[in-house]
Amino acid sequence: MIEVYTLWLRQIKRYYRSKSRILGSLGQPLLFMLALGFGFGPIFQKAGQGNYMQFLVPGIISMSILFMAFSSGIEVIWDRQFGFLKETLVAPASRFQIMLGKTLGGATVAVAQGIIVLLLSLFVGFKFPSASLTILAFVFMFMIALLFAALGIAIASVLEDMHGFQLIMNFLVMPIFFLSGALFPLAGLPKAILIITAIDPLSYGVDGLRGTLAGAAHYGLMPDFLILACIVAVLMALGSYLFSKIQV
C-alpha cells in the first residue's frame, strides 16, 4: 500500500503545482452558479419550487467533481507520451495498485475542488441544512469522484492520443451532466427523459448531494448510495483490467 500512497500523493502534488489550472477549473462552476442561480431563481420561485440556489448548488458541485475527476485520465496519456508511465510500471507494484493510486489521487483533487465550490456557494446565499447531513455529503462527493476518475483512467488506458481523449470527454461529460438533473427537477419529466436520467450514473450522485445538502432527494439516499457503490466497483474493476493491458 506504500506504492498506492506514493502515487496518490504525487497525483495531488502535480495538480496543485499549477495555480492557473486551479483558478481556471473554478471558472465554469462559478459562472453556472451565478448566471443560472440568479437568472432562473425568480422563475423557479414563482413556479412554487422554492429557493433555486439551494436546489442548484449540489448540481454545480457535482459538475465540478465530474469534470475534474474525469480529466485525471489525461495524466495517463500524458505520462505515456513522455515516458513517465514506463518508469511507473517498472516499479515494484502491481498495475492494480498503480491504477488505484492514480484514481484516488484524481478523486481527492476532484473532491477538494467540490469543497471549494461548496464554500464559495455560501457567499451567494446557499445554506447548510445540518452538520450531520453535510458530513454525509462528503461521502457522496468522494463516490462521484471515484466513479468518474476510474472511468477517465479506463478510457485513457485504451487511447494514445490526448486529442482523442478530449473529444470523448466532451462527448460523454456534457450529456452526463445535463441529463443528471443537476439543473432541473426530475419530477414531472417526460418518460423518455426519466429513463435516460435513470441510466445516467451522475443522477444518483446529484440526488445524493441534493438530499444531504438541500433535503430534496428524488430517489432516496440509500438507493443513491447503493447504486453509486455498485457502479464504482464495476468501473474500478474495468479500469484495473484495461490499465493492466497498457503497452508502453
Per residue of the chain (248 residues), give pLDDT as tens.
555 656 656 666 666 555 555 666 777 888 888 888 888 877 877 766 778 888 999 999 999 999 989 888 887 887 777 666 666 666 666 777 878 888 888 898 899 899 999 998 988 888 877 777 888 999 999 999 999 999 999 998 888 777 778 888 888 898 999 999 998 888 888 888 889 999 999 999 999 999 999 888 889 999 999 999 999 999 999 988 888 877 76
Residue 16 is predicted with a pLDDT of: 58
Q: Could you tell me the pTM of the whole model?
A: 0.89
How many CB atoms lie under 10 A from the CB of residue 69? 29
- Report the number of distinct structural domains present in the chain: 1
Task: Judge contact between 58 and 32, C-beta under 8 A.
Answer: no
User: Helix, strand or coil for residue 72?
Assistant: coil
Range of the structural domain that residue 58 is part of: 2-244
For residues 202 and 180, what is the distance between their CA atoms, to the nearest angstrom? 6
Instruction: Kindly give the residue spans of alpha helices, DSSP state H, lying in the chain.
Output: 2-16, 19-46, 52-70, 73-81, 84-89, 95-121, 131-156, 162-178, 191-199, 201-213, 221-244
Q: Which three cell numbers stand for residue 243?
A: 490499465
Task: Judge contact between 114 and 145, C-beta under 8 A.
Answer: yes
Residue 47 is predicted with a pLDDT of: 67
Q: Which three cell numbers stand for residue 139?
A: 461521502
Residue 151 is predicted with a pLDDT of: 93
For residues 171 and 88, what is the distance between their CA atoms, to the nearest angstrom? 30
Residue 6 is predicted with a pLDDT of: 64
